[in-house]
Structure 1
Amino acid sequence: MNPCGNLVFFVLCLFPGVFSVFSLSLNGKWILSNSNGSLRLPAEVPGCVHSALQKQGYTQDLYFRFSDLTYRWIAFDNWTYTTTFTGAKAKVLLVLDGVDTVSSIWLNGISVGKTDNMFRRYEFPVGALLKDGGNVLNVSFLSPVLYAFERNKAHSAYSVPPACPPDVQKGECHVNFIRKEQRSFSWDWGPSFPSMGLWKGVRLEAFDALQLIQVSSVPLYDFSTSQWRVQVELLVDAVQETNVTVTLSLPELDSEQTFRTRFLPGKTKNSFTLAVNTVLDMQENVLWWPNGHGDQPFYSLTVRGFQDVSLILKTQSKVYFRTVELVQEPIAGSPGLSFYFRINRKPIFLKGSNWIPAHSFQDQVTPAVLTNLLQSAVDANMNTLRVWGGGVYEQDLFYSICDELGIMVWQDFMFACAMYPTDDDFLETVREEVVQQVQRLKSHPSVIIWSGNNENEAALATNWFDIPALQTPTYLKDYVTLYVDNIRAIVQKEDQSRPFLVSSPTNGAESEQEGWVAANPYDPRYGDTHFYSYVPDCWDWRAFPRTRFASEYGFQSWPSFSTLQPVSIKEDWSYDSRFTSHRQHHQDGNQQMLQQAALHFNLPNSTDPLKRYTDTLYITQVMQAQCVKAQTEFYRRSQSELIQGKGHTMGALYWQLNDIWQAPSWSSIEFGGKWKMLHYFAQNFFAAVLPVAFEDDNTLFIYAVSDLNHNLTLRAVVTVYSWTDLDPVCTLESDPLLVRAGSAATVFQQPVEALLAGCGHCTRLTCVLTFHLEDDSGQQGPTNHHFLCPPKDAQGLQRPEVTVQEDETGHTVTVRSASVAPFVWLDVGNVPGRFSSNGFLMVSRNRTVSFNAWRPTSVAELSGSLTVTSLMDVY
């Protein structure tokens, strides 16, 4: 006999015979209908209207060609989700973990409540409304586009810009008036799909006395006593006042404490502090470390609750120990302040990228998609991702994977590139959003900082929206009200374990001194910077700001033909096609890519239209990879330098990691997970030990950059090649030099003319350099390259005889070349997987790379799909 009673409700029975908690999932099949009843179809929950329509055949692939315009009508209609269920009467809550976005909820024809925020969990008491037989639940959605329009119209006192996105984005207006994914109304890298639906789970929770809603555990370290303690919070919903004895234990650390407490009626938060008896030294491997700096161990926290002698509550969760500090201190001999992160008291250079939503429809972001993207970040030696403020607070699995892989998360709150209203109802829903998200995420060690918004300080300071000077104080007041008086205040109350920034970019502490909006939030002597410029030569390091921390920068490229082909047709396969123009949501973006590429490369000119198109896709990826490489290497070598008060750079997060659809963007990973050339380059330019070359005043400098925890003694080895020959012209070697842990140091310096004069007949136009670092045990870090002239001006650069031999015992490819070949690119079309190396400079007669297939793949399939392209192949 089941001690928990009704099997319909039974999912979890925590304490049979005393208290019982039942959960009935309402996920699965619902009925979806539009406002006039002309459409009625099955729909999955979690899910959204767009996904349901596509699955049932009412639309074709929503990413195919111009579908974002073709199916614009979906977001202008109102939609209703309906389900029927049976269940027992008790104290019952209807719990909706994620509602996108504006809805009215009805149970058995009676109004239960309303929602207006995609980022909140909603709970409604419904026990009195349940019937013994079938119960009918309706969730009716308003068009988010029309709702935003009406909210803007009602805000008549003054405008809240921007009204609409730029025309090139083909989007919808007034997204800042609705608390939903801001990019869903369009962005400069994504389509306009204002989604609607139950994007997270729906369930009934029934309980006799109490239920545990959430447990959070935040380790806190006392630097003065070198002692750890764990702050544990239990969010409990109780029917009546209940006296409880709570025992917290960390058996692996020989720590246990018991507390007497009282759960009050309704939803309450009870806080406890568990002292850790075992000494956890900051240098030991018992702490959580970022990728590349140590392991990510966790400990099991057990929480038990007793009423008298009866066990009424028991749960387990993971606890990770780590400290995080954002250091903003004066720098000797420099105006401004430092800006860097210390993890477990160790300064860490943050290497990584920016994360955007992985799909327009969140129900299609599967565990496999998340795992592949996050593992790809780690495999490119990243240790940080910034969850950007125009998307969503990611699902729990995202943060759990980041915990396990050692990926630090810079977490924005979901406000981006806009001013926002500060009406009472808007602030009220934002406050609940912030409380819920902080409580949900603060147990994750991967989250190292909260940031209030994306670029809104900069928007105000530099007047993106042409606000008249007399009206500026109104918007400044709204800014401080929203981000400082509300969001910051809540975060500091809810979470004392990590820092909070009001915006990004920001001058940080200096912005605070200037009333939270600095005169120049892009000042490189403070805080973090975002930097984009597509006109100057991206190979010239002088074009980049020598900043304390670069949290956004980048260049666009197009994805591969194999990624574009499924969502296009033959007439689209031209760089001048309507499809190509439609997919580009950044003003003049297609032209900017070619203009930047033309500075160093001859543009593709094949008479075959398809080849010219695919060659152009390739050249945009070459351009992007070289540009971001140059900028990232500049930031990494600047970590130990201070020049005219600028430098000490301690972070490089390029824009952006992933794509939301098949289109041009700044990403290094295409929609579907395929690595662009940039991501292969990132494997090297984010390596723990990296050689970096640059020229200044016709002198070649090579720096050794090290993220390691120990000092190294390194020498630079420079090899000079003629473009026409794979035998080196000459090799130079520097004297060994001490390179301290976590620093960058010059290990080689020589005028280029003197270097070439010592290498026989080499000139800038006829030769190219490779270089690497060595110690007494051998090579440390990757081999890098340095072009002495733009490749388009190179003399003797030939179309190499590149042949391929495949190993039938596994997925390995041997590339053979008769001369130096730049940017050798292996592509296997739509076969999912990635190569161990790609986009490389070929300076050997043979090079073998492996292919990691993501599904069963035969040698024959791989061979039939494989193509090899080098730079001369596109001319």
Structure 2
Amino acid sequence: MGGRVVIRTLHEGWTVTAVSSTGQPRPVVAGLPATVPGCVHTDLLDAGVIPDPYLDDNENRLRWIGRTDWSYETAFDWTDPGDDRADLVCEGLDTAATVILNGVQIGQTANQHRVYRFPARHLLREGKNTLKVLFEAPYGYAEKQRAALGDRPGAYGEPYQFIRKMACNFGWDWGPTVVTSGIWRPIYLETWSSARLAEVRPLVTLDGRDGKVRVHITVDRAAQAPLNVTASVAGVEDRVRLAPGERTAVITLTVPEPDLWWPRGHGEQALYTLTVTAGDSVWTREIGFRSVVLEREAFRLVVNGQPVFMKGFNWIPDDCFPNRVTRERVAERFQQAVDTGANTLRVWGGGLYESEDFYAQADALGVLVWQDFPFACAAYPEEGPFRAEVEAEARQQVTRLSSHPSLVLWCGNNENIEGHADWGWQDTLDGRSWGAGFYFDLLPAIVAELDPTRPYWPGSPYSGSPDAPPNDPSRGTTHIWTVWNREDYTFYGTYTPRFVAEFGFQGPPAFATLRRAVSDEPLTPTSKGVMHHQKALDGNEKLLRGLGDHLPQPRNFDDWHYYTQLNQAHAMAFGVERFRSLMPYCMGTIVWQLNDCWPVTSWAAVDGDGRRKPLWYALRRSFADRLVTFQNPETVAVVNDTSDEWETELSVVRLTVQGGELARERFPVRLAPRSAMTVPLPASMTPGDPSKELVSASVGDLRALRFFTSDLPQAAYDVTTEQLSDGVRVEITARTLVRDLALFPDRLDPAAAVDDMLVTLLPGETATFVVTGKDLGPEALTAYPVLRCVNE
């Protein structure tokens, strides 16, 4: 027998009070209404106590919040239902907290990444009950740990490695310093009798064409009676009977020839509902049948026996206050990712283990998830409470995520192995621990024990051996930051990597996003608010330097905004296409980054208000299944990342900038599935006058253009517009060469968007754009600075 399991959320009636702070001047906050799940920043913002930390430089005046202790309190009525047990479950407390029920301390926490469960039956009483959660100031907690364990180096002068909390809360080179406290995920009472399912860990594999699920089950028991446990999937069911005192079982289900779960672009995403019951306790999840192997020497992921070129984005927390990231927002970000042609998201190690909504979206859409354990850009202590916390969180999260077919790789950390090897950490560590015991021993042991169906990789970048240079492009994963920091973007062409897990180039957010966040008058590239929303070291200088000989130097803010956004798009398209042209030697290109957590100039393709930057449109072309690209003046690369052979003809034409044909060559092209080839160009394609010529390479509707100069003749074109029910159709016909045509309708209506961007037209060609939005007068929509091209 198993009794009912009832969950009662405790999300109503909360107040928040500032208890004490470490010498920080602050407003009086006492008994303020609070939202749960939530955090103190959003509660203070909702109450009008603080300004929006995302606007102007308000962030600077809110540092006191992270140095203040906070008390969250509520009261609730309770009637004894007669169940054997009642647990208080805290799915997310941020971070160092003491939980007090009816005046009695019931538990303490020190980890944002863990779920905590506290027996509460003995403290609950009929009628009114009180619940208080006291949060120690994150800075105070982290600084105490640092003092006790000894300082450790990190990329930033903040103590984020001394508290198991989202590291980027402490500021990053794209994020603000907004150090939160609060009840950030659900909190509830769970009452039950007899038994409850404490843990279900399905390990899904393929045995030939059959699917196999080994369901590892742990139950909590309040009564020592025999207990039936059942598991079922795809019409297959089995059960075990647990004797009194037994808590664990393994049920193996074999499903004959199930439909397989495939990565996006390789097949369908078949999902099956797995249900496990123990008495009245029920657990249910969607699972998918697929195999995953990492060929470690080449760093090549193989799914269901097929090598997969992983193309996509790094993912950071989509908001500094993650309780604001709704299911709808997650779905919107995923759609923005897959609409570029991406098949991979890497959950970066300075953030979180993401929500169930995140992994469910990945499962449904066929997006491969690379999951970093949350360690990033610092030496982490292994002593004191940290090892126990890391082990507990890793065990819990590996178990929690084991059902998701989209999760294909666990990775130990972001850039910590590289930091220890190459960033001078060893001198300052003086022999103290830095996290190696986690990345090379503890975490791989936990993954091997709890989820051997998935590969583990110690960190990124990492070359496959602790003794090898960690960022060697020829082995394992590499991060390429030479380009953004020092080199012209054509320097990507000097790399022949196995797998690029991080590389990026900055650009500002959409105009409407920047204008909402910054009240500067006038708005300039170096005005106070614009500079506050540029967190990268020498970021604006690198933006201008990066224009190089590719684009003109800007005359004003509008030029700066367009040219730097455009240059970001050019740079990343060049890099992505370089690495894709090396398939199958190179099998991954993961752009830094998809999204932002606030409105900022950054490496993102989608800005902090969810608007697509020009980079997004460029990547939609560069991630396409089939691609034609110039890699240098002597060659054209053709890529076929589909399951079908591609037999076609490549046409290469040398043209004058006025459109006159100087030479034409045709090449038969036959590409096997999932392959690339390079076509050498004959001498006839060498420009006679580089300042007045270009080369075009095309296969069907796919085209690549190679320019030899940025000094192009002035553009001339004809524009017609047609009013639509929800926007405007804009048709542009070129009378001359028109390079990188773009419309920025958000300058007229912040809700407006355009379906395409960065279109280059040869004389006589026409492009059609559909703009959705209001207040889009044709005159303003087709004039500077809304309608732009490089050679305007």
**TM-score with structure 2 setting the length:** 0.93
Label 1:460 to 1:347 Cα distance change in 2 as closer, same or farther (>3 A): same
Label 1:190 to 1:536 Cα distance change in 2 as closer, same or farther (>3 A): closer
8 Å CA contact 2:651, 2:667 repeated in 1 = no
Please give the alpha-carbon distance, in whole angstroms, between the structure 2 residues aligned to 1:385 and 1:555.
Answer: 18
Structure 2 counterpart of 1:735, from 655, 667, 676: 667
Query: What does residue 79 of structure 1 align with?
Result: 70
| Structure 2 residue 151 is the aligned partner of structure 1 residue 159 | yes
8 Å CA contact 1:288, 1:321 repeated in 2 = yes
Render the CA deviation track for 1:284-316: whole Å, top value 9, x for unaligned.
xx21111111110112223344xxxxx534444
Secondary structure in 1 aligned to 2:50?
coil
Render the CA deviation track for 1:657-693: whole Å, top value 9, x for unaligned.
1111111111111112111111101111111010111
Query: What does residue 192 of structure 2 align with?
Result: 207
Alignment of 1:426-825 (within 5 A): 426-465=386-425, 467=427, 473-475=431-433, 478-508=434-464, 511=465, 517-533=466-482, 534=484, 538-541=488-491, 544-571=494-521, 573-605=523-555, 612-640=556-584, 648-695=585-632, 699-723=633-657, 725=658, 727-729=659-661, 732-747=664-679, 749-751=681-683, 754-755=684-685, 763-774=689-700, 779=701, 782-789=702-709, 791=710, 793-794=711-712, 797-801=713-717, 803-809=719-725, 811=727, 812-825=729-742
Structure 2 counterpart of 1:261, from 242, 264, 276: 242
Structure 2 counterpart of 1:217, from 178, 202, 207: 202
| Structure 2 residue 45 is the aligned partner of structure 1 residue 54 | yes
| Structure 2 residue 24 is the aligned partner of structure 1 residue 32 | no
Please give the alpha-carbon distance, in whole angstroms, between the structure 1 residues aligned to 2:415 and 2:8.
Answer: 42
8 Å CA contact 2:340, 2:621 repeated in 1 = yes
| Structure 2 residue 254 is the aligned partner of structure 1 residue 275 | yes
Structure 1 counterpart of 2:134, from 117, 133, 140: 140
Please give the alpha-carbon distance, in whole angstroms, between the structure 2 residues aligned to 1:745 and 1:431.
Answer: 46
Alignment of 1:291-440 (within 5 A): 291-305=264-278, 312-328=280-296, 337-440=297-400
8 Å CA contact 2:519, 2:529 repeated in 1 = no
- Higher mean alpha-carbon deviation, 732-741 vs 520-529, is at 732-741
State the shift of 1:491 in Å. 1.3
State the shift of 1:357 in Å. 0.7
8 Å CA contact 1:720, 1:769 repeated in 2 = yes
Secondary structure in 1 aligned to 2:49?
coil
What letter matches 2:212 in structure 1?
R
- Higher mean alpha-carbon deviation, 838-847 vs 353-362, is at 838-847
Label 1:496 to 1:572 Cα distance change in 2 as closer, same or farther (>3 A): farther
Label 1:639 to 1:620 Cα distance change in 2 as closer, same or farther (>3 A): same
Please give the alpha-carbon distance, in whole angstroms, between the structure 1 residues aligned to 2:231 and 2:317.
Answer: 37
Secondary structure in 2 aligned to 1:485?
helix
Q: Percent identity?
A: 31
Label 1:600 to 1:735 Cα distance change in 2 as closer, same or farther (>3 A): closer
Please give the alpha-carbon distance, in whole angstroms, between the structure 2 residues aligned to 1:651 and 1:604.
Answer: 34
Query: What does residue 826 of structure 1 align with?
Result: 743
Label 1:409 to 1:419 Cα distance change in 2 as closer, same or farther (>3 A): same
Render the CA deviation track for 1:340-384: whole Å, top value 9, x for unaligned.
010110011000110001111011112222111110110000000
Please give the alpha-carbon distance, in whole angstroms, between the structure 2 residues aligned to 1:711 and 1:473.
Answer: 56
Label 1:28 to 1:613 Cα distance change in 2 as closer, same or farther (>3 A): farther
State the shift of 1:583 in Å. 2.1
Label 1:230 to 1:562 Cα distance change in 2 as closer, same or farther (>3 A): same
Query: What does residue 228 of structure 2 align with?
Result: 245
Render the CA deviation track for 1:613-632: whole Å, top value 9, x for unaligned.
12201111111111111111
| Structure 2 residue 754 is the aligned partner of structure 1 residue 835 | yes
Query: What does residue 514 of structure 1 align with?
Result: none
8 Å CA contact 2:17, 2:32 repeated in 1 = yes
Secondary structure in 2 aligned to 1:665?
coil
Please give the alpha-carbon distance, in whole angstroms, between the structure 1 residues aligned to 2:272 and 2:13.
Answer: 38
Label 1:185 to 1:68 Cα distance change in 2 as closer, same or farther (>3 A): same
Label 1:234 to 1:860 Cα distance change in 2 as closer, same or farther (>3 A): same
| Structure 2 residue 87 is the aligned partner of structure 1 residue 93 | yes
Unaligned regions of 5+ residues in structure 2, if any? 21-27
State the shift of 1:833 in Å. 5.6
8 Å CA contact 2:193, 2:223 repeated in 1 = no
Q: How many residue pairs align between the two structures? A: 774
Render the CA deviation track for 1:453-487: whole Å, top value 9, x for unaligned.
0011111111343625xx66544xx5332223222
Query: What does residue 116 of structure 2 align with?
Result: 122
What letter matches 1:190 in structure 2?
G
Please give the alpha-carbon distance, in whole angstroms, between the structure 1 residues aligned to 2:50 and 2:485.
Answer: 41
**TM-score with structure 1 setting the length:** 0.85
Please give the alpha-carbon distance, in whole angstroms, between the structure 1 residues aligned to 2:148 and 2:424.
Answer: 24
Unaligned regions of 5+ residues in structure 1, if any? 1-14, 167-172, 281-285, 306-310, 329-336, 512-516, 606-611, 641-647
- Higher mean alpha-carbon deviation, 187-196 vs 367-376, is at 367-376
Label 1:194 to 1:676 Cα distance change in 2 as closer, same or farther (>3 A): same
What letter matches 1:622 in structure 2?
L
8 Å CA contact 1:541, 1:634 repeated in 2 = no
8 Å CA contact 1:536, 1:543 repeated in 2 = no
8 Å CA contact 1:716, 1:748 repeated in 2 = no
Label 1:731 to 1:216 Cα distance change in 2 as closer, same or farther (>3 A): farther
What letter matches 1:42 in structure 2?
P
Label 1:264 to 1:101 Cα distance change in 2 as closer, same or farther (>3 A): farther
State the shift of 1:732 in Å. 2.6
Please give the alpha-carbon distance, in whole angstroms, between the structure 1 residues aligned to 2:321 and 2:328.
Answer: 15
Secondary structure in 2 aligned to 1:59?
coil
8 Å CA contact 1:715, 1:733 repeated in 2 = no
State the shift of 1:190 in Å. 0.5
Please give the alpha-carbon distance, in whole angstroms, between the structure 2 residues aligned to 1:474 and 1:86.
Answer: 51
Label 1:390 to 1:584 Cα distance change in 2 as closer, same or farther (>3 A): same
Label 1:542 to 1:435 Cα distance change in 2 as closer, same or farther (>3 A): closer
8 Å CA contact 2:229, 2:240 repeated in 1 = yes
Label 1:590 to 1:438 Cα distance change in 2 as closer, same or farther (>3 A): same
8 Å CA contact 1:356, 1:391 repeated in 2 = yes
8 Å CA contact 1:719, 1:728 repeated in 2 = no
Label 1:745 to 1:543 Cα distance change in 2 as closer, same or farther (>3 A): closer
Label 1:865 to 1:361 Cα distance change in 2 as closer, same or farther (>3 A): farther
